[in-house]
């Protein structure tokens, strides 16, 4: 079975096959008139060629890959607290280590996502020997706050901190403790990515993110967070 058909079947299965017991009844004409929609679930496969390294006297580097994209047309408001979030443990620590995490400021001021997107990238989706490069899940439009103690982050993004120069993140296991404990998004993109080792055409490896702080970021190896731009604060 082609992999894109398999992925589509899997997503539909996960979304719509939870246990359900209900009596089916026809809708009245006035009830039908109140229903509208623009397509909850869209699926596509894209071929992308992303320039990843600039070299003065040698050919530039690219990552050529195929991406299965699942877009879910829904709005999500989230207010949640998590005592501890840890992702990607290997070596001597965690890729992501956050304690006292709060998504949203309050129930009245939640973290809002306009649309959800999942991307599954392969080197060649039609090859029987295809290699999984990365999986990304997130939104092209996130608005609101993430508060917490950021002990360790694999992250790429620009953080504007009041009265300080912007922090340009693109590093492994960065600690932000004492510098900021609140990140505010203003309708920017946000992703959580799980990536294998990826080598571009120049031989460079994704130790950190390729092409950071852009929509076409190739995530660094491991578990990475991505956003193009946000504001940072130190709350007391």
pLDDT of residue 19: 43
Taking 90 as the threshold, does the pLDDT of residue 200 lie above it?
yes
Least confident of 44-48, 138-142, 164-168, 169-173: 164-168
What's the rounded mean pLDDT across residues 213-217?
86
* Alpha-carbon gap, residue 8 to 3, rounded angstroms: 9
pLDDT above 60: residue 39: no
Most confidently modeled of 136-150, 154-168, 206-220?
A: 136-150
Output the average pLDDT for the chain. 85
- Bridge-based pairing state of the strands 167-174 and 132-161: antiparallel
* 97-133 pLDDT tens trace: 999 999 999 999 999 999 999 999 999 999 999 999 9
pLDDT at 102: 95
Residue 105: Cβ within 10 Å count: 15
E-strand stretches of 10-131? 41-53, 61-78, 80-90, 93-103, 111-122
Q: Is residue 92 scored above 80 in pLDDT?
A: yes
Mean pLDDT along residues 150-157: 94
Report the distance separating Cα 102 and Cα 87, nearest Å. 16
pTM exceeds 0.85, yes or no: no
């Amino acid at each position: 079975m082609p992999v894109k058909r398999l992925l589509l079947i899997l997503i539909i299965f996960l979304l719509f096959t939870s246990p359900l017991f209900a009596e089916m009844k026809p809708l009245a004409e006035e009830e039908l008139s109140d229903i509208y929609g623009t397509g909850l679930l869209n699926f596509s496969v894209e071929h992308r060629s992303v320039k990843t390294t600039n070299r003065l006297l040698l050919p530039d580097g690219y990552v050529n890959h195929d991406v299965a994209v699942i877009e879910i047309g829904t709005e999500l408001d989230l207010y949640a607290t998590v005592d501890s979030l840890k992702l990607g443990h290997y070596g001597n620590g965690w890729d992501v280590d956050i304690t006292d995490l709060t998504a949203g400021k309050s129930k009245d001021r939640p973290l809002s996502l306009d649309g959800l997107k999942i991307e599954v990238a392969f080197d060649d989706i039609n090859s029987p020997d295809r290699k999984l490069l990365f999986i990304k899940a997130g939104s092209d439009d996130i608005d609101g706050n993430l508060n917490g103690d950021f002990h360790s982050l694999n992250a790429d993004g620009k953080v504007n901190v009041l009265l300080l120069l912007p922090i340009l993140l693109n590093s492994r296991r960065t600690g932000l403790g004492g510098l900021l404990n609140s990140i505010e998004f203003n309708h920017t993109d946000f992703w959580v990515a799980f990536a294998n080792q990826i080598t571009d055409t120049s031989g460079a490896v994704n130790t950190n993110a390729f092409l950071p702080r852009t929509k076409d970021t190739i995530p660094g190896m491991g578990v990475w967070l991505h956003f193009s731009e946000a504001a940072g604060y130190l709350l007391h």
